Each structure stands twice: as C-alpha cells, then as structure tokens.
Amino acid sequence: MFLPAGYINKPAFINGQMENRQIILFFDKLTSVISNRRLVKLVLSSQRDRSSDLKSIIITIVEIKKGVRLNFVYRHKTNDITKNFDVEEAMAIVKKSLEEDFFNADLFSGEETLRLLITGNGKVKIRSNRTELKPVASFSHDRLKERIIATENNVYLKELGVLNSGFEVRNDMKDKYLQINNYIGLLAPFISELELPEGFHVADMGSGKGYLTFALYDYLTGTLGKTPLMTGVESKKDLVKLSNEIAKKASFTNLKFVHGTISEVALEKIDILIALHACDTATDDAIFRGIASGASLIVCAPCCHKQVRKAFHVTGALKPVTKHGILEERQAEIITDAIRALILEAHGYKTKVFEFISTEHTPKNVMIVGRKIPGKPAAMKKSLDQVRAIKELFGIEQHYLEGLCMGITNIE
C-alpha cells in the first residue's frame, strides 16, 4: 500500500478516518488474517472511560452458511453478550471501538501477536511477538447454518429433538438452540487461550441429556479441528444409554458417556471441566475434580445452593438480610459462589464470575470460570483468609468445597 510520509506521525483517527500509518498497517494485517482464516482472536481492551461497564471485546472468527462472520463477545462488568457481524460491519465496529472505547488491540494470529497501543493524545505504537498459537480453525467443513452450531445434517440435534426430521429448529426448541449457541460462543474465547495437549480430555460433569456436551464436542472437533477425548458423567443410567446411542449415530467416536457420580467416577486427567447446573454440592464435587486434576479450564454454572443456606448462623446487623426466604436464598447463592471463586484462586486459577446473557431459559445463570495460569503463584493464604472472614461473618462452619480441597496441599 502507498502511504505518504505524512501519515507516520499523525494521530490514530481524525474525524473517524484512519490517519496514522501504524493503524492503517494494523487494519491491513487484520483484514489479511481474517481472509486467510488465521485469526485466533482479536482483543480490544484498556478502556478509555474507566467507569464504563464494557470492559473488553473478544472477537473470533466463525463460518456460517452465509459466509465468514466475526463473533464478538462483549465483556461487561457482570455479564457477557455475544453477537455475530459480517466482516465489513465488524471492521467498522472495531475501528469505532478503538476510536471511542479502547486504547489497545491485541491481534493473535497463527504466527504472531500484534499489539496496537493508542496513547491518550492519539499517538500509535505497534509491538509484535512471534507466537506459538495455532490458527483457530480449518474451515473446510462448511456445516454451519446461521449459528456456530450447524443445523444442516446435524444428527445429534435431531436425535435430541432440537431439530425436526428436515433438520430445522423446532418451534418449541428455539430457546434451547439459542442457549446452546450462546454457551459455545461464551466458551470459545476461553478455549482459544488454552495450550492443549494432543488428545486432551474434556469432562462434562452432570451431562444430563447431553445437549451441551454434544455441541462442545462438535465445536472442538468440527469447527476447531481438534482431537479431544470427551466424557459426559451422569448419574441417571437411562440418560447415559441414550447419550451413548446418539454419540454413535453422530459418529462422535471420542465422546463417551459414563454412568456414575461426579465425586466417585474414575476418570483420566482432565484438561477442561464443565459442569452446568449440577445440583447443589455436585458443583463443588466437579470443581474439586477439576482442581485435583490440574484442569486448565473449569467452567461451571451452579444450580441450587442448599449447603451454605443450611449452614448460615447469622446474628447481629446481618440478621434482617436472611429473614426473608428469597433474600436468604440469594445471599446463600452469592456466598457459595464467592467462596467457590476464592477456592479456585487459592489453587492458582484466575477467576471470572458473570451472568449468562440469556435468562429466559433458566434463572440459574451465573457462570464461574477458572483459568489455570501457568507459573502464577497460587494465592492460597490470602484467598483462604478471605474465605475464613466471610464464613465468620455469616456463621458458616464450612463450605463443602473447602472440605474437599483440604487434602490438596501441593499447589502453593
């Protein structure tokens, strides 16, 4: 591209136009990695307005029947929102976001990481690092219809009753289909950050009918071209049998469902653990299995919070807070999940707790994500002191997960 010398020292944008050579080169590179399908992710961060509720935007590439789309995860303080845009719209949004909302853009491609930094007075710098990250997907499978999870010839969605015999989403299953896609959209950026070994193992604890287990396996193998082993753990025998039959029909050879309890089932080393709506302390059993196995990613959406609710012995000024059943329930939910996040942190996980976007399917929509950061020292003492202080305040003798993790001593 011909760039007159005057572009070099100009500010990033003037009246919405890209004026600086560095920023033009950055957008050229972005366009090129998108068209070559080598975009791993683009992260817009470092807010211009620190009080803004929007903390960052993570952009990955997906291909649907209509063509390539960019999947935007808008990370707000308390929830994440996902949206797909075509490439042209996406580029305009990225440009506007860099002009108005964020100072930094990190572009991860197959071969390098480019960091664009815009200063307060509009000056621009680019830093480049070679990187080991692999491109996110082989797009040879054009299997998607309008969402990340394809409907076209999708055997498991048909068998699960989400699609009719013509592979169309059934009217009464639209919410379910959206929920499945939403969930994969939320997980995608976390997965893209991981360095996973060959044949890595994914465990879905309390897999139920397996909607999300199948969709995640499909995404990992079909969209990302990875070769995981995946295990769904479920205590109901009939669901295990049904899910294994569907896995066979879908030719998902490395996906199996096993009958057993989360706490006791024998499993090989877990790299990614998910547990969605596993009841009460079953979520703690799952988190414990993940921590004990040194899983790189633990994702859970807790269900009920009975253990802590029963353990409350609140006195003094806090008493009115738990006087009303609904407030006591909400309080138990907050305390239970806050302690879960602290225990994950105690064991070297970076945590994020947020609301799923869609509340129409379930009111249980808080998600706890723990990412193991290699080399990050576990904040064992600090986190466990904070757990102790919370317990004292609410008169709780023990959080169930704490008891499970007592045996793990080799982390700090």
Ligand X SMILES: C[S@@+](CC[C@H](N)C(=O)[O-])C[C@H]1O[C@@H](n2cnc3c(N)ncnc32)[C@H](O)[C@@H]1O
Comparison of 267 and 384: residue with beta carbon closer to ligand X = 267
Q: From CA 216, how far away is CA 149, in angstroms rounded?
A: 9
Q: Choose the stretch contacting ligand X; rule: CB under 6 A; options: 6-14, 143-151, 214-222, 276-284.
A: 276-284
- Within 245-376, strands assigned E span 255-259, 272-276, 297-301, 349-355, 366-372
Q: Is residue 155 at the binding interface for ligand X, with CB under 6 A as the rule?
A: no
Q: Is residue 79 at the binding interface for ligand X, with CB under 6 A as the rule?
A: no
Q: Is residue 206 at the binding interface for ligand X, with CB under 6 A as the rule?
A: yes
Q: Is residue 362 at the binding interface for ligand X, with CB under 6 A as the rule?
A: no
Among 58, 278, 291, 300, binds ligand X (CB under 6 A): 278
| Amino acid letter, 367 | M
Comparison of 239 and 378: residue with beta carbon closer to ligand X = 239
| Amino acid letter, 60 | T
**H helices then E strands: how many in the chain?**
11, 16
Comparison of 22 and 283: residue with beta carbon closer to ligand X = 283
Comparison of 39 and 300: residue with beta carbon closer to ligand X = 300
Comparison of 106 and 284: residue with beta carbon closer to ligand X = 284
Q: Choose the stretch contacting ligand X; rule: CB under 6 A; options: 277-285, 328-336, 338-346, 374-382.
A: 277-285
Q: Is residue 282 at the binding interface for ligand X, with CB under 6 A as the rule?
A: yes
Among 235, 358, 365, 386, binds ligand X (CB under 6 A): 235
Closest CA to 37 of 75, 84, 70, 76: 70
Q: Choose the stretch contacting ligand X; rule: CB under 6 A; options: 11-19, 92-100, 205-213, 313-321.
A: 205-213
Contact 373, 411 (CB under 8 A): no
Q: Choose the stretch contacting ligand X; rule: CB under 6 A; options: 117-125, 208-216, 343-351, 375-383.
A: 208-216
**Cα torsion through 263, 268, 269, 270, rounded to 10:** -60
User: Which tokens is 147 given?
Assistant: 């969402």
Length of the chain: 412
Q: Is residue 240 at the binding interface for ligand X, with CB under 6 A as the rule?
A: no
Among 212, 250, 335, 396, binds ligand X (CB under 6 A): 212
Q: From CA 221, how far away is CA 250, in angstroms rounded?
A: 12
Q: Is residue 299 at the binding interface for ligand X, with CB under 6 A as the rule?
A: no
Size of the site for ligand X (CB under 6 A): 18
The least CB distance from residue 130 to ligand X, in Å, is 39
The least CB distance from residue 260 to ligand X, in Å, is 7
Q: Is residue 261 at the binding interface for ligand X, with CB under 6 A as the rule?
A: yes
User: Which tokens is 116 given?
Assistant: 């664009």
- From residue 24, alpha-carbon distances to 68, 85, 254, 397 in Å are 22, 21, 45, 59
Among 42, 262, 287, 342, binds ligand X (CB under 6 A): 262
Q: Is residue 211 at the binding interface for ligand X, with CB under 6 A as the rule?
A: yes
Count CB neighbours of 127 within 10 A: 10
Comparison of 80 and 284: residue with beta carbon closer to ligand X = 284
Q: Is residue 73 at the binding interface for ligand X, with CB under 6 A as the rule?
A: no
Comparison of 131 and 365: residue with beta carbon closer to ligand X = 365
Report angle CA 94, 96, 102 to the nearest 5 degrees. Answer: 75
Q: From CA 275, how far away is CA 288, in angstroms rounded?
A: 11
The least CB distance from residue 119 to ligand X, in Å, is 45
Contact 293, 285 (CB under 8 A): no
Q: Which residues partner with 204 through β-bridges?
A: 232, 274
Q: Is residue 48 at the binding interface for ligand X, with CB under 6 A as the rule?
A: no
Gyration radius (Cα) of the chain, Å = 23
Binding site for ligand X (CB under 6 A): 206-208, 211-212, 233-236, 239, 261-262, 276-279, 282, 285
